[in-house]
């Protein structure tokens, strides 16, 4: 069976013919198979289309029951129909009309009724129901559920047959989430039902991050209604919300409000309930718009054979012929293949007619009609159960006049459950939480005089979350062009790379889009918060992906590393060349005057100092981290202490003027040369303490460079590192001080002046090195160390 479509003819009389009027249906029984003598008289009255459809549903149920040999055998369930009692009561005095219709007594020869079925207007049941109790008649209300009638204090013997709309708000919000509508308006009638629904709607929308753009509570007071109508119109036309939820009594001022919007040709997506299923105004749908209307209806099963029954009743009982498509919606199984899956809105009127009349039509049943159908069956099953319990007392019910105790039957009615003829389970126990299912229909003005609605999905609260709403994608694409359905949002969704920033004083659905902070991303639209990337990842420029960081270090393949390595090799070669010159001219006065041995030590230590730079280039490991600072510190200590020894030697050489003095002995014995091992041993002790307590180790730095993980040598103990560095500085400062004192000595073979200038440059470089070293990170810091 293909998807189900519904069709309804509309004309200027449809609005009046679809009005609800009260009908009291008094049930009674007779022996044998007896046709309901009231059917001709009831259908020949001037009734609205909706009343006719309701009464036909009633008689169809009675025919099913009386023709079923398994229910009430040899007993006919009959009914007396009385409509417009509430209007009659308003037009006539209470004492005359109600006294005639509902006397508080009955004569011996007068018929006693079993149960009175009241509806579909709740007001008639609320006003006339207590009078039924006085006349000893139990009451079942078959109209839409109303909380007022559930009050056992006010209506102790009234039973509501229709289920409560426990999940209507949830089902509507689920549809909004499906279409990504989060900015929605609401038009509600000012009554208990409307305010209760509004409260549930707010709660469900808050759970699903949706917001109400505006709420119009339409007052029944004429003065307040006229005062607010222009305010409401300006608000709905200026609002960016393109979806509007409608809930309330269709015979209230709410309908007048919507008529005004219809005249103004206000184009919105309407989401509403079965009450607004077929309302026309001036030959046009009241809620018709270019975008169509979504209608939520309680799930009902179609009654097999209902069309044939109506045709039979139409031929035999109607004085004025009425077509079935005016009476109520007719339905057909609309095959998508026959229409080649084309969008209905894009087809010409000729093609629509051609497609439409290929189908076989059946008459649908209204929700109220289906509830009434189940109500009559419930009465029959309860009476049948009571007769089975009292089979031995059945002879006292003999005779043409068959009467039962209504209040005794109510006991059976409240606990009865059965499967109706169309296969649905009916449970009369009101304490059992019945799961309510909704069918979702989408209605459009299909042809100039025909309305079409298509069942596009359903909602079942008892299913798992995420599976409660079922929407047929195929039916939606068939009927709705998504490019024409507007979005209903307050703010444009934030794209990946941005997060929502609430606008002060506005609803949560209204927000600004703010870029994610550094190293944070949002990989989906409309994210409330950005997500921080893992430590070994970094955010891309767009801020929507975390990229893995690349491991980096100052390597030989880098331009900087290659340049430093070349310099580190060039300087030792230059120094070795100078050393070769010294060795070649070792016996010359110049070399001898400059303390040949100390010069050799200085040049050799400088060669090793330059080569130590290579330890800082390349991927660090435990060995290189241990050697980087310690070997350089020891070798450089040798170089610095050699400079100190040379300077002291020069000073001593020029200060010795008297032979035999102690200074002469120090100079001749080579005392200044002991400075080198003494200073070196002290540095070795410091380095030993450093390596023994908190040695350097291989570490990674993930914060210095955004897109790299740097492998570096951690100094370990910073205090030990600066002690070693400070010790080198103290030797250099000592050399500078001594050289400064020797600057005015005779310059023949004297290098004191050159040492003073050299140590001045050296100290200046080291003073500059410290702040530069602390201000650089990553590869640059290693390069500064090499320098």
Percent of residues, the chain, with pLDDT higher than 70: 76
Nearest partner of 705 among 634, 756, 776, judged by Cα = 776
- Report how far Cα 763 is from the mean position of its chain's Cα atoms: 65
* DSSP 8-state secondary structure symbol assigned to residue 105: -
Residue pair 257/228 in contact (Cβ under 8 Å)? The answer is: no
Given a cut of 50, whether residue 320 has pLDDT beyond it is: no
Question: Looking at residue 133, what is its pLDDT?
Answer: 67
Residue pair 79/63 in contact (Cβ under 8 Å)? The answer is: no
Residue pair 507/518 in contact (Cβ under 8 Å)? The answer is: no
**Banded pLDDT at 338 (limits 50, 70, 90):** very low
Question: Looking at residue 391, what is its pLDDT?
Answer: 65
Q: Name the β-bridge partners of 217.
A: 188
Q: Tell me whether residue 243 is exposed, middle or buried, using C-beta atoms within 10 angstroms of its C-beta: 0 to 12, 13 to 18, 19 or more.
A: buried
* DSSP 8-state secondary structure symbol assigned to residue 219: -
Residue pair 118/125 in contact (Cβ under 8 Å)? The answer is: yes
pLDDT tens per residue across span 587-597: 887 777 667 88
**Banded pLDDT at 134 (limits 50, 70, 90):** low
pLDDT tens per residue across span 275-289: 877 666 555 566 666
**To the nearest whole number, what is the mean pLDDT of the chain?**
78
Nearest partner of 211 among 529, 490, 465, judged by Cα = 490
CA distance 358 to 533: 61
Radius of gyration of the chain (CA): 50
Nearest partner of 134 among 100, 157, 161, judged by Cα = 157
Question: Looking at residue 589, what is its pLDDT?
Answer: 79
Question: Looking at residue 780, what is its pLDDT?
Answer: 74
CA distance 547 to 282: 63
pLDDT tens per residue across span 733-773: 887 787 777 666 665 545 666 777 777 777 777 777 777 77
Span of 367-371, 418-422, 656-660, 769-773 with lowest mean pLDDT:
656-660
Q: Tell me whether residue 282 is exposed, middle or buried, using C-beta atoms within 10 angstroms of its C-beta: 0 to 12, 13 to 18, 19 or more.
A: exposed
Nearest partner of 452 among 462, 460, 438, 441, judged by Cα = 441
**Banded pLDDT at 97 (limits 50, 70, 90):** very low
* Structure tokens, 691: 């390596």
More confident residue, 524 or 476: 524
Question: Looking at residue 171, what is its pLDDT?
Answer: 93
Three-class secondary structure of residue 196 per DSSP: helix
Residue pair 214/237 in contact (Cβ under 8 Å)? The answer is: no
**Banded pLDDT at 326 (limits 50, 70, 90):** low
Question: Looking at residue 319, what is its pLDDT?
Answer: 45
Other CB atoms within 10 A of residue 602 CB: 25
DSSP for 247-278, please give it.
ES-TTSHHHHHHHHHHHTT---EEEEEGGGTT
**Banded pLDDT at 94 (limits 50, 70, 90):** very low
Provide φ and ψ at 743, rounded to 5°: -70, -25
CA distance 751 to 745: 10
CA distance 72 to 385: 9
Span of 144-158, 575-589, 646-660 with lowest mean pLDDT:
646-660
Given a cut of 50, whether residue 104 has pLDDT beyond it is: no
Residue pair 236/214 in contact (Cβ under 8 Å)? The answer is: yes
Question: Widest CA span of the chain, in angstroms?
Answer: 165
**Banded pLDDT at 654 (limits 50, 70, 90):** low
Beta strand pairing call for 139-141 and 116-118: parallel
Given a cut of 90, whether residue 223 has pLDDT beyond it is: no
Question: Looking at residue 245, what is its pLDDT?
Answer: 93
Between the alpha carbon of residue 228 and those of residues 253, 349, 513, the distances in Å are 12, 40, 35
Percent of residues, the chain, with pLDDT higher than 90: 10
Mean pLDDT of 623-633: 85
* DSSP 8-state secondary structure symbol assigned to residue 111: P
Mean pLDDT of 328-356: 61
Nearest partner of 293 among 275, 278, 267, 272, judged by Cα = 272
Nearest partner of 631 among 619, 623, 621, judged by Cα = 623
User: CB within 8 A of 765, min separation 6: which ones?
Assistant: none
Mean pLDDT of 42-67: 78
Given a cut of 70, whether residue 26 has pLDDT beyond it is: yes
Q: Which range among 126-130, 707-711, 743-747, 782-786 has the greatest average pLDDT?
A: 707-711
**Half-sphere exposure of 605 toward its Cβ, with a 13 Å CA cutoff?**
21
Question: Looking at residue 663, what is its pLDDT?
Answer: 54
CA distance 85 to 21: 9
**Banded pLDDT at 215 (limits 50, 70, 90):** very high
* Structure tokens, 175: 């549809």
Mean pLDDT of 714-743: 82
Given a cut of 80, whether residue 23 has pLDDT beyond it is: yes
Given a cut of 70, whether residue 154 has pLDDT beyond it is: yes
More confident residue, 90 or 403: 403
Question: Which long-range contacts link 590-593 to residues 24+ away (Cβ below 8 Å)?
Answer: 590/749, 593/749
Find tokens 């730095």 and name the residue. Answer: 701
Q: Name the β-bridge partners of 546.
A: 539
Given a cut of 70, whether residue 1 has pLDDT beyond it is: no
SS3 readout for 138-190: CEEECCCCCHHHHCCCCCCCEEECCCCCCCHHHHHHHHHHHHCCCEEEEEEEC
SS3 readout for 380-408: HHHHHHHHHHCHHHHHHHCCCEECCCHHH
Other CB atoms within 10 A of residue 104 CB: 10
CA distance 674 to 643: 13
User: CB within 8 A of 132, min separation 6: which ones?
Assistant: 102, 116, 118, 138, 139
Q: Name the β-bridge partners of 550.
A: 708
SS3 readout for 565-580: HHHHHHHHHHHHHHHH
Q: Tell me whether residue 72 is exposed, middle or buried, using C-beta atoms within 10 angstroms of its C-beta: 0 to 12, 13 to 18, 19 or more.
A: middle
DSSP for 278-296, please give it.
T-EETTEETT--TT-EEEE
Residue pair 26/137 in contact (Cβ under 8 Å)? The answer is: yes
More confident residue, 230 or 319: 230
Given a cut of 60, whether residue 689 has pLDDT beyond it is: yes
Question: Looking at residue 424, what is its pLDDT?
Answer: 86
Given a cut of 60, whether residue 443 has pLDDT beyond it is: yes
- Report how far Cα 705 is from the mean position of its chain's Cα atoms: 35
Residue pair 475/454 in contact (Cβ under 8 Å)? The answer is: yes
Given a cut of 70, whether residue 323 has pLDDT beyond it is: no
Q: Name the β-bridge partners of 742.
A: none
Given a cut of 70, whether residue 231 has pLDDT beyond it is: yes
Question: Looking at residue 96, what is its pLDDT?
Answer: 47
CA distance 216 to 202: 14
């Amino acid at each position: 069976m293909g998807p189900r479509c519904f069709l309804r003819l509309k004309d200027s009389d449809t609005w009046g013919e679809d009005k609800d009027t009260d009908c009291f249906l008094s049930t009674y029984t007779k022996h044998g198979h007896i046709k309901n003598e009231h059917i001709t008289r009831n259908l020949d009255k001037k009734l609205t289309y909706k009343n006719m459809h309701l009464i036909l549903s009633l008689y169809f149920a009675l025919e099913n029951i009386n023709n079923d040999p398994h229910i009430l055998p040899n007993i006919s369930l009959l009914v007396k129909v009385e409509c417009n009692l509430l209007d009659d009561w308003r037009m006539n005095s209470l004492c005359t009309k109600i006294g005639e219709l509902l006397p508080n007594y009955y004569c011996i020869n007068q018929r006693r009724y079993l149960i009175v079925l009241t509806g579909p207007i709740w007001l008639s049941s609320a006003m006339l129901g207590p009078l039924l109790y006085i006349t000893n008649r139990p009451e079942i209300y078959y109209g839409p559920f109303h909380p007022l009638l559930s009050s056992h204090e006010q209506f102790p013997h009234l039973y509501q047959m229709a289920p409560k709309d426990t999940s209507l708000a949830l089902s509507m919000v689920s549809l909004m989430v499906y279409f990504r509508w989060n900015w929605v308006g609401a038009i509600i009638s000012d009554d208990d039902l409307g305010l209760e629904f509004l409260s549930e709607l707010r709660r469900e929308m808050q759970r699903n991050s949706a917001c109400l753009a505006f709420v119009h509570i339409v007052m029944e007071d004429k003065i307040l209604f006229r005062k607010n109508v222009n305010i409401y119109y300006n608000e709905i036309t200026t609002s960016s919300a393109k979806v509007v939820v409608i809930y309330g009594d269709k015979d209230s001022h709410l309908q007048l409000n919507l008529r005004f919007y219809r005249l103004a040709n206000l184009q919105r997506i309407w989401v509403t309930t079965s009450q607004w299923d077929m309302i026309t105004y001036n030959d046009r749908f009241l809620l018709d718009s270019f975008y169509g209307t979504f209608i939520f209806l309680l799930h009902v099963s179609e009654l097999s054979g209902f069309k044939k029954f109506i045709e039979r009743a139409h031929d035999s009982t109607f004085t004025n012929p009425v077509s079935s498509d005016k009476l109520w919606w007719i339905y057909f199984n609309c095959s998508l293949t026959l229409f080649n899956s084309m969008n209905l809105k894009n087809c010409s009127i000729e093609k629509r007619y051609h497609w439409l009349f290929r189908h076989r039509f059946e008459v649908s049943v209204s929700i109220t009609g289906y509830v009434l159908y189940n109500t009559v069956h419930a009465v029959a099953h309860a009476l049948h159960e009571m007769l089975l319990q009292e089979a031995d007392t059945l002879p006292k019910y003999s005779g043409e006049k068959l009467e039962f105790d209504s209040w005794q039957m109510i006991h059976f009615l409240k606990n009865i459950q059965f499967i109706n003829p169309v296969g649905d389970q009916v449970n009369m126990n009101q304490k059992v939480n019945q799961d309510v299912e909704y069918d979702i229909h989408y209605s459009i003005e299909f042809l100039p005089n025909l309305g079409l609605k298509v069942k596009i999905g359903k909602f079942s609260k008892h299913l798992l979350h995420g599976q409660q709403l079922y929407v047929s994608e195929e039916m939606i694409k068939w009927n709705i062009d998504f490019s024409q359905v507007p979005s209903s949002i307050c703010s444009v969704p934030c794209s990946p790379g941005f997060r929502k920033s609430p606008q002060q004083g506005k609803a949560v659905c209204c927000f600004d889009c703010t870029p994610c902070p550094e190293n944070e991303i949002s990989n989906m639209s409309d994210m409330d918060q950005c997500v921080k990337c893992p430590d070994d990842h970094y955010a891309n420029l767009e801020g929507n992906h975390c990229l893995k960081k690349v491991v980096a270090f100052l390597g030989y393949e880098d331009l900087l590393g290659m340049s430093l390595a070349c310099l580190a090799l060039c300087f030792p070669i230059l120094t070795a060349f100078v050393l070769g010159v010294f060795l070649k001219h070792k016996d010359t006065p110049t070399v001898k005057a400059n303390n040949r041995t100390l010069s050799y030590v200085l040049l050799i230590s400088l060669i090793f100092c330059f080569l130590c730079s290579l330890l800082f280039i390349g991927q660090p490991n435990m060995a290189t981290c241990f050697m980087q600072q310690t070997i350089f510190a020891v070798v450089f200590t040798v170089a610095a202490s050699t400079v100190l020894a040379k300077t002291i030697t020069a000073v001593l050489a020029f200060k010795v003027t008297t032979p035999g003095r102690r200074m002469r002995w120090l100079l001749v014995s080579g005392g200044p040369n002991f400075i080198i091992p003494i200073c070196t041993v002290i540095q070795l002790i410091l380095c030993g303490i450093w390596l023994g307590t908190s040695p350097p180790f291989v570490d990674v730095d993930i914060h210095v460079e955004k897109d790299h993980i740097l492998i570096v040598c951690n100094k370990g103990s910073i205090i030990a590192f600066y002690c070693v560095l400070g010790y080198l500085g103290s030797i250099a400062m000592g050399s500078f001080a001594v050289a400064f004192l020797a600057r005015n000595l005779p310059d023949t073979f004297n290098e004191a002046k050159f040492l003073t200038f050299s140590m001045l440059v050296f100290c200046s470089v080291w003073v500059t090195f410290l702040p530069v070293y602390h201000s650089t990170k990553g590869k640059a810091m290693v390069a500064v160390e090499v320098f």
